[in-house]
Amino acid sequence: MEKLTNKEEEIMHVLWKLEKAFVKEVQAGLEDENLHYNTVSTIVRNLEEKGYVDHKAFGKTHQYFPIISREAYGKRFWNEATRRFFDSSYKNMVSFFAKEEKITAEELREILEIIENKQ
């Protein structure tokens, strides 16, 4: 999976939410609604070339839909972030969030319960 730019990722979030959309609908779902139609269309076509979306043709217009799930992308993103920033250690990642007070002791207990019940 090729890395996405911030705009590509934003467009993917719109497509994941809508499940299928024409470029105008994608454009309306973006935070920056002033982004020109042609720019959005180009980014969507780039996403198609990268293998993230596909389309169904309706005459001269296309309805786009994601072919990579949000979960699959998230898994790849977190695996890569863990490798790059935490030496491939999920323990280091969780410790970081605990030290930064981004995760509570209760949440950690819930995670532990999930791990213990999985076995």
Is pTM beyond 0.85 here?
A: no
Q: What is the pLDDT of residue 71?
A: 95
Q: What is the pLDDT of residue 63?
A: 98
> How many domains is the chain partitioned into structurally?
2
Q: What is the pLDDT of residue 119?
A: 58
**Residue 43 CA to its chain's centroid (Å):** 15
Residue range 73-92: average pLDDT?
Answer: 91
Q: Note whether 61 and 10 are same-domain residues.
A: yes
Any domain includes 113 = yes
Any domain includes 81 = no
Q: Note whether 53 and 93 are same-domain residues.
A: no
Type of residue numbered 100: E
Type of residue numbered 77: F
Q: How far apart are CA 63 and CA 86, in angstroms?
A: 39
Q: How far apart are CA 14 and CA 101, in angstroms?
A: 30
Q: How far apart are CA 16 and CA 37, in angstroms?
A: 19
